[in-house]
Amino acid sequence: MRFLTVPGYTGSGPDHWQTHLENAYEGFSRVVQDDWATVDRDRWVARLDEAVRAVDGEVFLVGHSCGSVTVAQWAATRYDGRVTGALLVAPADVEAPGALDAIRPQAPLPASVLPLRIHLVVSDDDPFLSRERGPALAEAWGATIEVVPGGGHLATRDGYGPWDHAAALVARHSGTVLKRRSAPVTTPGTTGGRAPLA
């Protein structure tokens, strides 16, 4: 089993929970976009598709924010049966009237059941996903869902650096026992700073 993390707009910095997963556990690698600051629906989906098809064997996807949106859009248009499931955390509502201009090019969101098992994690006070929209997406996509009280965007600036629950969810929903690396690694393609969706 290989695990592909799929960051969103601005990428996931060195203390983001996705980066911690990649650095702490075997089998994780990152889908790296050419330009994290320019959201391009088609290019981001194509890059994810390339990464999936480069893996020999089963794949589990781990998305955050606009990366979760990319996973959903890939599943709706290019699904590959070797992908056994996905953990999608805090998908950004790129269709919302108040969405950032930078992420609007990623619209529209899929509106039908997706062909893979998805577990959605949202919070009840995410500035980029309303309290009502998270459950609506879960229903539309045929996903299971959990709501984190007061989690914000479930990102670095919200206190989600090392996040043991994310590792537990990946293990549970992939049906895999995660193995810790003997020594931490540094993930390429990370970005620093405290950008809005990082």
User: For the whole model, what pTM was predicted?
Assistant: 0.93
pLDDT of residue 171: 98
Note the Cα 31 to chain centre separation in Å.
10
Dump pLDDT digits (tens) for 100-123: 999 999 999 999 999 999 999 999
Res. 192 pLDDT band, cuts 50 70 90: very low
Strand locations in 7-129, DSSP E? 28-30, 59-64, 83-89, 117-123
How far apart are alpha carbons 108 and 86 in whole angstroms? Answer: 20
Which residue in the block uniquely carries the two structure tokens 């003997």?
A: 182
Dump pLDDT digits (tens) for 9-41: 999 999 999 999 999 999 999 999 999 999 999
* Helix, strand, coil fractions of the chain, as percent rounded to 5: 30, 20, 50
Q: Does the CA dihedral 12-14-20-23 come out positive or negative?
A: positive
